[in-house]
Homo-oligomer: A and B are copies of this chain.
Amino acid sequence: MRWEPGARQRLQGAALELFAARGFEEVTAAEIAQSVGLTERTFFRHFSDKREVLFYGQDQFLQAFIDGADAAPPGASPFEVIACVLRSAASFFPDERRAQSRMRQSVIDQNPALRERELHKLAGLATTIAAALRARGVGEPAATLAAQTGTTVFGIAFAQWIREGETRSLSGIASDVLRELFDLTAALGLGSSAGSGTRADSAPN
């Protein structure tokens, strides 16, 4: 071969290290490229923009979400599907990855631009799940509602999984967070309209 293989992976690895060491904004794309023997132009051939070097290649992760939805039994309610999705997604992060995820997340958390990209990816996940729910016959806004709430639960669970001192599995944490959500909504009353209806008629505008 004329070139070392795995240029993309090398770029991603070098980028994460450099970002962790000196911060996202203090590292240029040219620098990352040169650190693995490539040029800036090649960097931007592999990644649509500088931030993307930290997010590219989540196809398998997204697939885990889809697989979770597909694995749900035919008659499952939207949130039962979400529970399956969460379990499948969580299996994508075994405890061995905790340390790496922590490092990566600390880089992301320290830069607003990177957090924006992360939120965007999360929203993309939600859109995908919503589509899967719609394919199962779930209508709107239930599909989007369940999908976005599901990614919210995942996000909160993931943040907890990353937290220093946490030892539970991501799957376990996600279950707990989901249960907490049920408890919160259930605390509002038994009738479906009792909770919000309590004051809904007082000031519609």
Contact = CB atoms under 8 A, between A and B. Distances in A.
Count of chain copies: 2
Nearest to A138: B184
A175 interface: yes
A47 interface: no
Given A119-B116, A160-B141, A204-B172, A149 B152 contact: yes
What class of interface size applies to chain A in its complex with B? 35 or more
A79 B203 CA distance: 18
Interface of A: 77-80, 83-84, 87, 90-91, 94, 112, 115-117, 119-120, 123, 141-142, 144-146, 148-149, 152-153, 155-156, 160, 169, 171-172, 175, 177-188, 192-193, 195-200, 203-205
11 contacts: A78-B187, A87-B200, A119-B119, A144-B156, A145-B152, A145-B153, A169-B204, A172-B204, A175-B197, A178-B196, A186-B186
